Amino acid sequence: MISRRLLLAAALPAAACSPLDIANGLTPGGGTALRPGIPYAPGERGRYDLYTPEGAGPASPLIVFFYGGGWTSGARGDYGFAARPLASLGALVAVPDYRLFPETRWPGFVEDGAAAVRAILAGPGTGRPVFLMGHSAGAFIALALALDPRWLGPAREALAGAIGLAGPYEFGPEDDPRGIFAGSPARRARAAPGSPEQLAGTPPLLLLQGEADDTVRPAQATRLAALARAHDVPVETRLYPGLGHIGIVAALASPVRTLGLEGAPVLEDVRHWLQGPAPRRA
């Protein structure tokens, strides 16, 4: 049944139905309640969607998922295909929007992420283990909030962990032709703080990366993992042979997994990691 629906969807004109539309349209919605557009800051970009799985209790974990898009594109409503499978793990899932270039530059989108996380910690995340997660540009935001205390301040201590999917955790001006990070020190973008001593208090990390990713090289994950280990931050890394930049987030989608096309057990690895040692709680 799913394969037939995929074939029908593939026959639709591209202008009428994007790959995200197809992924979301084929992702089962049963068993998960959606509360859209919860405000955390002024403006339409200052909102998040909250997915609550059936049977969730007051101690169920909550994942804050930041989508990618090079800090220039993306919308929370396009990521139900990722949020619903994550909710199937028994976790509430919040998907915030954040301001994009050219409306803002660094550190505006990181500050938006921090504002969203503070609001979620004080709201649906109260009393729960709260994990940050992101793909690509969203992984930069999630890991910056987990690694660098200047963004969340004392609220960082409430985080239970952070998960990065194919994140560009450090790059220079040669990788930033639009000047999105023009205001960063020496125009070098880093998720980690400038002083490694500030890594103290970083929650456990899970870094997932495709070895065939030619957008964000695997060295991004391995270098950050080495930095974390050197400063006693708990970190696990998974490198997936043959998996590319989009494939690592597409692997979360239910129709992709149903057809055995995910290429790597991304969702299962997230599940096992979440079920690991007792996490910190808010």
More confidently predicted of 20 and 258: 258
Which domains, from first to last, does the chain contain?
A: 2-10+17-274 (3.40.50.1820)
* 3-state SS, residue 149: helix
Residue 107, token pair as written in the block: 């550190």
Tokens representing residue 93 in the block: 């899932």
C-beta neighbour count of 242 within 10 angstroms? 10
Q: How much is the CA Rg of the chain, to the nearest whole Å?
A: 18
d(CA 85, CA 118): 24
The pLDDT, as a whole number, for residue 18 is 52
Digit-coded pLDDT (tens) for 38-79: 999 999 999 999 999 999 999 999 999 999 999 999 999 999
What are the beta bridge partners of residue 79? Answer: none
Global pTM reads 0.90
Angle at 185 between CA 181 and CA 186, to 5 degrees: 85
Q: In this predicted model, what pLDDT tens digit does every residue of 101-160 receive, in sequence order?
A: 999 999 999 999 999 999 999 999 999 999 999 999 999 999 999 999 999 999 999 999
pLDDT computed for residue 271 by the predictor: 97
**Residue ranges of E strands in 194-269:** 205-210, 235-240
Q: Tens digit of pLDDT for each residue in 2-51?
A: 233 322 222 233 334 455 554 555 555 568 999 999 999 999 999 999 99
What letters, b where the CB count within 10 A reaches 16 and e where it falls short, cover 107-122? bbbbbbbbbbbbbbbe
Q: Give the pLDDT band of residue 241 (cuts 50, 70, 90).
A: very high
| Pairwise CA distance, residues 224 & 218, whole Å | 10
Q: Mean pLDDT across the stretch 255-275?
A: 90
